[in-house]
Amino acid sequence: MSDTELTAPHHLTVGYVGRPGERTFYLQAEDAQARLSVQLEKGQVDGIGDLLTQLLARIGESPATEVDRGSFELRVPVDAQWRVREVGVGIDDAEAHLLLELAGVTETGEPASARIWFDRGHARRLATHASRIVAEGRPRCRLCDRPTAADGDHVCPSTNGHGPLGR
């Protein structure tokens, strides 16, 4: 079993490689002893942003309005050690730290997990960054909210299969 705990990462981010419609999402965390790089789904990245926003609201804080995009870049090489299946977020009120718990499997099918502790300031910036990178994907249909082609072309289920949605 691969088990990682990072108590004071100097780098924690989510990001992607590829173009909209073909993106692969990753989470990276690094401290002085270890670097963790795992693969996620876009929905999991979106969920991390949403969960952090909800937890911050519970303690009277909100996501950051400004984020230095450069400090949230993925570090190369971007090689996932394992694929995430479950994501959890928690808070330690006494220590004023948040916890990101990840569980998944390696390519060989072995269970893997990680616990990453970080401060409220980083949680505020990460919530904003996660939401922004998810939004950088393909445009969404105004009727069904599904992704459209880059040029906006889309056969929408809301039209009951009767042709492309007009712009």
Residues 56-70 have pLDDT tens digits of: 999 899 999 989 989
- 88 and 159 in one domain? no
- 127 and 57 in one domain? yes
Inform me whether the pLDDT recorded for 164 exceeds 60. no
- 85 and 98 in one domain? yes
Instruction: Judge if the upstream peptide bond of residue 139 is cis by omega within 30 degrees of 0.
Output: no
- 160 and 89 in one domain? no
- 131 and 75 in one domain? yes
- 129 and 71 in one domain? yes
- 81 and 161 in one domain? no
CA 63 – CA 30 distance, rounded (Å): 22
Q: Mean per-residue pLDDT for 35-64?
A: 94
| Structural domain of 36 | 2-136
Query: Is residue 7 helix, strand or coil?
Result: coil
**How many domains in the chain?**
2
- Confidence class of residue 166 from pLDDT cuts 50, 70 and 90? low
pTM of the entire structure? 0.86
* Nearest to 128, CA basis, from 71, 87, 58, 59: 71
- 45 and 7 in one domain? yes
- 131 and 151 in one domain? no
- 83 and 17 in one domain? yes
Please give the pLDDT value at position 141.
80
- 150 and 83 in one domain? no
- 89 and 12 in one domain? yes
